[in-house]
């Protein structure tokens, strides 16, 4: 079952997307130059993958069942109901 997350930055609820830092073209260029720089850059890119909000790109999404997310979501739904 897919777990949902809450973005405290923009209020989006959903699944985060994975983003790899760096540039694929730079990685290919470094591999063509020499093996050692390409290897180091590839390892750096693999270890810096992070999950971000699919809407705003903020890196700190929290599970929807955490106390902070529950409080924020309950505040959001109570303000949505007001006329």
pLDDT score for 80: 56
Burial of 73 (0-12, 13-18, 19+ CB in 10 A): middle
Please, what is the Cα angle at 11 between 7 and 17, to 5 degrees?
Answer: 40
Burial of 53 (0-12, 13-18, 19+ CB in 10 A): buried
Tens-level pLDDT at each residue, the chain (83 residues): 458 899 988 888 999 999 988 888 988 888 888 878 888 989 999 998 888 999 998 888 999 888 888 888 888 766 655 55
pTM of the prediction? 0.64
What pairing do the DSSP bridges indicate for beta strands 5-6 and 13-14?
antiparallel
């Amino acid at each position: 079952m897919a777990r949902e997350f809450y973005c405290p930055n923009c209020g989006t609820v959903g699944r985060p997307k994975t983003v790899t830092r760096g540039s694929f073209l730079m990685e290919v260029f470094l591999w063509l130059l020499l093996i050692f720089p390409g290897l180091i850059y590839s390892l750096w890119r693999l270890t810096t993958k992070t999950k971000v909000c699919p809407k705003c790109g903020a890196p700190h999404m929290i599970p929807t069942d955490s106390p902070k997310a529950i409080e924020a979501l309950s505040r959001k739904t109570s303000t949505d109901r007001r006329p």
